Every structure is written in C-alpha cells, then in structure tokens.
Amino acid sequence: MSLETVRKPRQQRGFFVIEAPLGLLDLGMTMSKTSGNKLTSSVFIDGEAGTTGLEIRERLTALETVAVRSIAADRRKDPKARQALMREVDLVILCLPDDAAKEAVRLADELGDDSPRIIDASTAHRVDPNWVFGFPEMTAGHADKVAKARRVSNPGCYPSGGIALIRPLVEAGLMPADYPVTVNAVSGYSGGGKAMIAAHEAGTAPDFELYGLGLSHKHVPELQHYSLLKRRPIFVPSVGNYRQGMLVSLPLHLDTLPGKPKVADLRAALAKHFAGAKLVRVIDGDDAALASGRIEPESLNGSDVMEIRVFGSDGLGQAVLVAKLDNLGKGASGAAVQCMGLMLGLTAQR
C-alpha cells in the first residue's frame, strides 16, 4: 500500500468523515475491501479530543477500510447529536471519564437493534461480567471472544503489563492464586491526564514521584481479576519526567513458589503462553538489557508491541519479571485499535 497525503475531513449528513489511505504498521491489519477503495466500516470516537482519542484517531487514519465519523466541536457534548451518530456507525470507541462513559453506553443501549458495538477506554466496565476485557493475548481463545463481543472494555496501561506477567504463571501452576504479589511500575507523564501533562511540560512537576500510595489505585481491580489472583496485589505506580513509555515489574522469591522454579522455568512458561502472539514478545537470547541487567522505558514508543523479560539469579533464588510497553500504544490507543480490528473483521491476529 502506498503512502499518500491525509485528505481533509469532508462533511456528510451533518457529521464529518475522515478518509486517509495510510499503512498501519504494528497491528498488521489485512484490508477487507469490497470493491475498489470503498470504506466498509465506520467508527465514532466519543471523546476524540483527549490524549487517547487523538492517538486512536491518528491510528485509524491509516486504515482505508475505516471511516472515522466526527461531530462538530460545538456539538460534542450534545446527547442527541452523539446518539444520532451512534445509530449510523458500526462501532463506537469511548474515550471519556467513567461517568460520561456510562452515560454514553446508556445512549447506545436506547437504540436497541441499531446500537453499535462499543469499546470503552475508561475504567467503568473493566470488571463488568457483561463486557469482554480487551487484551486479546491474555489467554487461549480470548481473541475470538473479543472478535465476537458487542461490548469490550479496553485495558488500563499498567494492568496490561501486570496481567501479562502474572496470569501465565498462575495458569501454569507456577504461582498460587493467593500469592502475595507486588507490582511496581513507572510511566511517562502522558498517561496522567491534562493537569499532569501541563505540569511536566511547564517544568513544574518533579522529575520522579511515587503515587497511589493509599493502595487504592483504580487499576487494581482489573489487575487482580484478570491475573486470576485471590489476594489483592500491592501496586505501586510512579511517573517520570519523560513523555511516554512504561516498565511494569514483578519481583519474586523463587523459593516461595510451588516447585521452586528456576529463572528459565518462568521464561519458558511466559514464552509458551504467548507463542504465536504478534504484539506480545518474550525476549530471550542475545539481548542487551538481559546482558546488562539494565532496561529503559522509551524504546517501544510509537509501537503497539509489549516486550517481556525475565531477569534473575538462580543462585540467589530471586527474579524480576519486566514488561515494557508504550503506555499510549499497547497500553491504550493501540490496544483499542487492535480490538477494533478484531471486532470489525479487519484482522485475525492474536
């Protein structure tokens, strides 16, 4: 597919349509064309002016089989205008605060048979049993569940990394469900909302800080639930003075795990769990980070890939598992577009 200049929005039936035939790289989506360049699916990003919404919109301009439908800026909070557009599209991606996301779902539900499929990027529905969690690689067969779902909750950035480290060990019997888990993480400031972004860009924020030390971070419920943990994990997030990029780490004492596994056993379990996954990669062999025992958070920025590494010492009986990802990629907008591709039949990838 050749790269072309993005075309300007054109107005249609009171709304705006974005068409831009660019290549989508990381997600590897196959184009399900009907005839010529006819657009086969339409998407409305409700809340497209925020960080995640803008990132999703940028990614969607790369798909020539998707039309992004928008409401004029002065009507974006008009329930009737939003509901009218929901009726006309195939899928809605919600990039809204929790309460606003719940209200948007109510608007969609009122449409009955005309209700579109929904991906919600807020935390409002992440542990709701009526919604499918949007981490296709989470476990065997889960991508199919995402593809068939009417309602998908997009994962949080931190839980994406934490679940990827913990669940494979629980499923493999290497970690009991009641294990006292501690997850530490650091992210760039772009995931912290407008106030945090403004403070860092103005130079008034600290270079580094821990937060969520009341241990009630909003991501803990989904981290526990989808990691299959019976005991609530301790989660300690932090933010650094750089825009984006994330490391999520899981320290382990190997002699406290069933069978006292070796470092290689943990790596093998992770590699087996994610075998065949295109966007979640377990790193082994000749790797600079594994060789040096050092890892930085920014090298995957602009990518929708997650990398998993297992550091450790059999002699000391200790290991640290680390997931690296772009908090705006696999941790947010990239995950939403991946789920959208599955739901609309644009890709069959796991």
Q: Which residues are catalytic?
A: 157
- Distance from C-alpha of 225 to C-alpha of 231, rounded to nearest angstrom: 10
Is the distance from CB of 143 to CB of 313 less than 8 angstroms?
Answer: no
Buried b (16+ CB within 10 A) or exposed e, 54-75: bbbbebbbbbbbbbbbbbeeee
Backbone φ, ψ for residue 114 (5° rounding) = -90, 5
| Amino acid found at 226 | Y
**Residue 19 · residue 40 · CB < 8 Å:** no
- Element spanning 146, H or E: helix 142-148
Q: Could you tell me the two tokens for 270?
A: 């992770």
3-state secondary structure of 198: helix
Return the DSSP state at 180.
-
